[in-house]
Amino acid sequence: MARGLGKGIGALFPTETLENIQPNEDQVEKIDLQKLVVNPFQPRRTFDEEAIAELAQSIMEHGIIQPIVVRKKGKRYEIVVGERRFRAAKFANLKEIPAIVRSLTEDQMMELAILENLQREDLTPIEEAEAYQSLIEKLNFTQEELAKRLGKSRPYITNHLRLLTLPEEVRALVDKGELSMGHGRTLLGLKNKRRIPDVAEKVIKHGLNVRQLEALIKQLNEEVSRETEKPVNKDIFVQATETQLREYFGTNVQIKKSKNKGKIEIEFYSEDDLERILEILQLEE
């Protein structure tokens, strides 16, 4: 499924900023590959070696059609856009590569690296989620604003970001493609979060599809509910108040009282649901 940006880099950067990074033929320089270093803000962690080899073959036959974009730093150059071309050029044993040298801040460098990669279709769901998270943190966007800027739906952004709440070892399985994004999202529905890694291993071991995993999660959650169910005698006032709060918040609400204190528990089932409740409580910024 394509995950490229709906509106391109122009959706996030004004025209005058874009003019600073657009290639111009008379500004192309030949730079020694030995002087190039990779972008420290590169969101992509894995590169398909076979695809790099194919690109290298194309470069040997046709040359590098589009220059890479770099930033000078000391005696070296940091790659802003075009790391795949750089890797393929090394694979093809080239000594130099055509490049556009631009004066960019670290913020601009990070933003361009993320956006350039988001326009491709081969980021893993975890890499994509981390790219969205970086843009939210760096540009101070809300999920809603980011979704509009990128031409995505709010749930699309939210569902990717939720993957980052998975345990680290399970995120790695999604990152490597051993679990799909659908598997990852479904695992987050498990009530006993400590069991997520074990259930993830079971998915891989038995080759469960998402529908089968959903059934397993439902069964496990029902077991948790039975284990934690305890008969509670609540007075009429508390029961009536719970009903009133459930209707007000549109979700399950429980009032728990002890001898000297009490607490109100409001359930939510997703980040969107939590934000909706916070808005009702007027705690959302």
In whole angstroms, give the CA distance from residue 131 to residue 161: 9
What are the strands, taking DSSP E only, across 22-162? 28-32, 36-37, 68-73, 76-81, 96-101
What residues contact 229, with CB distance under 8 A and at least 6 apart?
Answer: none
* Contact present, 183 and 213 (Cβ < 8 Å): yes
3-state secondary structure of 251: coil
CA torsion sign for 215, 219, 220, 222 is: positive
Instruction: Select which of 19, 29, 49, 83 is catalytic.
Output: 83
Nearest to 149 by CA among 114, 124, 122: 114
Active site residue 229: no
Encoded tokens for 200: 């993830």
* Contact present, 23 and 66 (Cβ < 8 Å): yes
Q: Which residues are catalytic?
A: 83
